[in-house]
Chain A
Amino acid sequence: MKVTIDNITIEVEAGTTIMQAARKIGPEVAPPAMCYYEPLKSSGGKCRACLVKVTAGSEKDPRPMPKLVPACITQVQDGMIVENAINEQVIETRKGVVEFLLLNHPLDCPVCDQAGECHLQDFSFEHGVASTRTVEERNTFEETDLGPHIKLNKNRCILCYRCVYTADQITDGRVHGVMHRGDHAEISTYIEQAVDNDFSGNMIDVCPVGALTDKTYRFKSRVWFSKPVDAHCSCDKCSGNVILWYRGDEVIRVTSRKNEWGESLEFICNTCRFDRKKTSDWTIEGPSKISRNSVISANKYGANLIRPAFPIQHAAQNFKQIEDDRDRSFLNIPTSLPAAEK
């Protein structure tokens, strides 16, 4: 069937969602996703980051849909017309979603291990406004350990439920994952039951923010100072296909490999993730493909400058006026930009 997204028409199979169709076209038209995670059954529909406008339901019934719909769980109909980045209402609503997700978020990026590969940072940079309207006290929760290797910081959690679905998927029987309601809801300690599992570490990889972090990697490095390398080993529990994150000669972290949407290609086991931290444990394949737009790809592979020139250049090209009186960002003052690297 045919579907048109932001004026680009594409042919897809029945049962495809708007999100899948948009991703097929490319990142320019793909809506942001903070909860949807294609490999996880029943994920999506919660964060509302991906709301889009359907201006024509289908060829047969070309009426527009009355409300914005979540792209990640709405199936396309033949002749459907969707507006994402070109729709004013969508853009406005998304600003609201950013604001809601940041409302109780601690904004402790400077001490957060996820900074630099955080989907909430990307989402708010691309779709949010730079000023805040809230003066309310933020809700806080106690930090917990989920087993010996995983730290849960509920203050950063955006309740995407991805870890809950991961726990559901890797353990037999239902693991009830959220306690309480509303903005006092929290990922529950019942997840600890799932943590006694060889694949529990994947909850770290699926977490879009820094709520679940790897304790063996905690505070070791900023992600942009480390160098990702594809490697494999022969493992009897998982495929053994991983990314090794190097700082100097030291493997400081092991993660799964991800697709261009940040989704794990395969779940890896805890032995590979937490215990195989020597180069001799692995067969190295070569540098990992990291998006040019990511801060991680700054000054990698031969560049000996520490200064992350590329992201600043990128930011300068796309820069928006930042209206935050409390703190004048250097991004606002073009003259302070480092000379562009040729």
Chain B
Amino acid sequence: MKILTEHIDVPNIETIDVFMKHGGYQAVTKALKNMSPDEVTEEVKKSGLRGRGGAGFPVGMKWSFLAKPEGVPRYLVCNADESEPGTFKDHYLMAKSPHTLIEGMIVSSFALGANTSYIYVRGELMYVIHILEKAIQEAYDKGFLGKNILGSGYDLDLYVQPGGGAYICGEETALLESLEGKRGNPRNKPPFPAVKGLWQCPTVVNNVESISATSWIVNNGGDAYAAIGEGRSTGTKLISVSGHVKKPGVYEIPLGITVEDFIFSEEWCGGIRDGHKLKAVIAGGSSVPILPAELILTTANGEKRRMTYESLSDGGFATGTMLGSGGFIVMDETTCIVHNTLTFASFYHHESCGQCSPCREGTGWMDKVLHRIESGEGRKEDVDLLVDVAKKIEGNTICPLGDAASWPVAAAIRHFRDEFEWHIEHPELATKPGAVYMRPGASWSN
């Protein structure tokens, strides 16, 4: 079942004529001519669609929280800043099929009563920005954007904004600051964007994938969407797979398939590269806890783990993880977890905006300590120190980047403590190029 990527390999699908030949922009006609904004919102609510940017907050519910004071403009902002290590699904969708997003932007803006909307695209993706701008121009030319769209009386202007060049600009309030032309510092919440967002006006921020799914929901109804998937994880999800699988890439999966199926079946990743074994997976982008092979395939209760919000988080952080943004990073036994953790810690150290002290100082501290451990200068007390620093950051910061920085470190130590200790106890072995610790008896060791 494909919703977002059904026609993605059709030649020239990025042009509006080919896109319309494959059913494109029918949702705009349907919504603007036959539905009220509230009816569109109602369908999205029924669909059970959850935010695909990481947190999984129900989209319809977010829309219904939007404040609607008289005489104040409202905005829809699409978060296309995609900078999380491991996540590259929005990039793929926008580059291949820009009209999928634009169509979604029009019906979503209509539902929210926004007359100006923005797509905030990661600044490094200049070529995607050009593709989107070209596609937007085509949509204006066909009368899907601009004044009095399709004679409905509804006006919408859509702009693309190149991002400020920082991961933090993907955090929704930092994004809004950046969109206003300021430094991308996250805001303290409350107030939430739904009340005071862009230019202090009510604003909805949604991920590319969330918005793109809305046109299918308008065409086929919320119930049809909710029929796909499992429980509260409805519909399909784009998963960007990187690492040691045979077929890395972007897949659109119906939520609910097993993790085992996803990694090993020919339909999806095709298994671990020849001659190697699965060691660990980061299931939802660099921020979510890493899980060792046995826990990613089966939950602590012995159930097969499935690709849903609920199943992946089963067991909490003790034995579970999160679906996050769908950045699925697969590691085989040649991967050094300490090195991997250091890479992420350096990333967050580099990307912290520096406003609040726990994140600003803590991310740098963890990076430096991990760097010492990795280079053979670890001290016995460093492992507990890392756990404690992560704990002191978590939950105490302005924005979730602090949590995102502390979870990977805490989880790596939780599940691979022996590997950190081995680095500290045997620096002469651990610092040899390519050295990796093999846990005796583990499914991935020989």
Q: B-contacting residues of A (Cβ < 8 Å)?
A: 45-49, 51, 67-68, 70, 73, 93, 96-97, 99-101, 103-104, 133-137, 139, 158-159, 161, 174, 176, 178, 180-185
Residues of B close to A73: CB separation below 8 A: 188
How far is A183 from B393 in the complex, measured between Cα atoms in Å? 14
Contacts of A93 in B (CB 8 A): 392, 396
CA distance A133 to B357 in the complex (A): 17
Other-chain contact of B357, A46, A136, A178 (Cβ < 8 Å): A46
A residues in contact with B182, CB < 8 Å: 174
- Across the interface, which residues of B come within 8 angstroms of A134, CB to CB? 365
Q: Most chain-B CB neighbours within 10 Å: which of A45, A73, A96, A136?
A: A96
A182 and B362 contact, CB distance less than 8 A: no
Among B183, B350, B362, B363, contact of A178 (Cβ-Cβ < 8 Å): B183
Residues in B neighbouring A103, C-beta threshold 8 A: 361, 364-365
Contacts of A67 in B (CB 8 A): 395-396
Q: B358 contacts which chain A residues (CB < 8 A)?
A: 48, 96-97, 100
Closest to A68 in B: B396
* Chain A CB within 8 A of B296 CB: no
B331-367 to A contact mask, C-beta < 8 Å, 1/0: 0000000000000000001111111111111111100
Assuming A48-B396, A174-B182, what are 18 further A-B pairs, CB within 8 angstroms? A47-B356, A48-B358, A51-B396, A67-B395, A70-B188, A96-B358, A100-B362, A100-B365, A136-B372, A137-B368, A181-B166, A181-B350, A181-B352, A182-B353, A182-B363, A183-B352, A184-B354, A185-B353
**Which B residues lie within 8 Å of A159 (CB)?**
354-355, 357, 360
Which residues of B are found within 8 Å of A68, using beta-carbon distances?
Answer: 395-396
Question: Closest B-chain residue to A95, C-beta based?
Answer: B392
Least Cβ–Cβ distance between A190 and chain B, in angstroms = 11
User: In the bound complex, how far is the Cα of B185 from the Cα of A180, in angstroms?
Assistant: 11
In the complex, whether B398 has a CB less than 8 A from a CB of chain A is yes
Q: Mark B166-207, 1 if CB is under 8 A from A, else 0.
A: 101000000000000011000010000000000000000000
- Say yes or no: is B83 at the interface (Cβ < 8 Å to chain A): no
Per-residue interface assignment for chain B, residues 361 to 380, with 1 indicating a CB less than 8 Å from any chain A CB and 0 otherwise: 11111001100100000010
B20 on the interface (CB 8 Å rule)? no
B385 contacts chain A at the CB level, 8 A cutoff: yes
- The A interface is mostly helix, strand or loop, or mixed, namely loop
Nearest CB in chain B to that of A47: its residue: B357
Q: What separation, in Å, do the CA atoms of A136 and B363 have in the docked complex?
A: 13
* Residues of chain B with a CB closer than 8 A to A182's CB: 349-354, 359-360, 363-364
Given contacts A48-B356, A101-B357, A178-B354, are A183 and B396 in contact (CB under 8 A)?
Answer: no
A208 to B166, CA, bound (A): 29
Q: How far is the CA of A73 from the CA of B355 in the complex (A)?
A: 15
Are the C-beta atoms of A97 and B350 separated by less than 8 Å? no
- With known contacts A45-B398, A93-B392, A96-B358, A136–B352 Cβ distance under 8 A: no
Shortest distance from the beta carbon of B57 to any chain A beta carbon, whole Å: 15
Q: Given A48, A70, A99, A183, which contacts B354 in the complex, CB threshold below 8 Å? A: A183
Q: Considering the chains assembled together, what is the distance between the CA atoms of A158 and B350 in angstroms?
A: 18
Instruction: Kindly state the separation between the CA atoms of A143 and B364 in the bound complex, as whole angstroms.
Output: 22
Provide the bound-state CA to CA distance between A304 and B200, in Å: 58
**Interface membership of B397, Cβ < 8 A:** yes
- Residues in A with CB closer than 8 Å to B354 are 159, 178, 180-185
Residue in chain B with minimal CB distance to A104: B361
With both chains docked as a complex, state the minimum distance between the C-beta of A164 and any C-beta of chain B, in angstroms.
10
Whole-angstrom CA separation of A139 from B183 in the bound complex: 23
A100 in contact with B392 (CB, 8 Å) = yes
Chain B, range 110-151, C-beta contacts under 8 Å to A = none
CB-based contact B392/A158 at 8 Å: no
A46 to B355, CA, bound (A): 6
Report chain B residues within 8 Å CB of A101: 357, 361
Residues of A within 8 A of B188 (CB): 45, 70, 73
Show 29 A/B contacts (Cβ-Cβ < 8 Å), sorted by A: A46-B355, A46-B356, A48-B356, A48-B358, A67-B396, A68-B395, A68-B396, A70-B188, A73-B188, A96-B392, A97-B358, A100-B361, A100-B362, A100-B392, A103-B365, A134-B365, A136-B368, A137-B368, A159-B354, A161-B355, A174-B182, A178-B354, A181-B352, A182-B363, A183-B349, A183-B354, A183-B360, A183-B363, A184-B354
Instruction: Give CA–CA (A68, B392) in the complex, Å.
Output: 12
Q: Interface centre among A49, A70, A183, by most B CB within 10 Å?
A: A183
The complex places the Cα of A100 from the Cα of B396 at a distance, in Å, of: 12
CB distance from A64 to the nearest CB of B (A): 13
Query: Chain B 229-268, CB within 8 Å of chain A: the 1/0 string?
Result: 0000000000000000000000000000000000000000
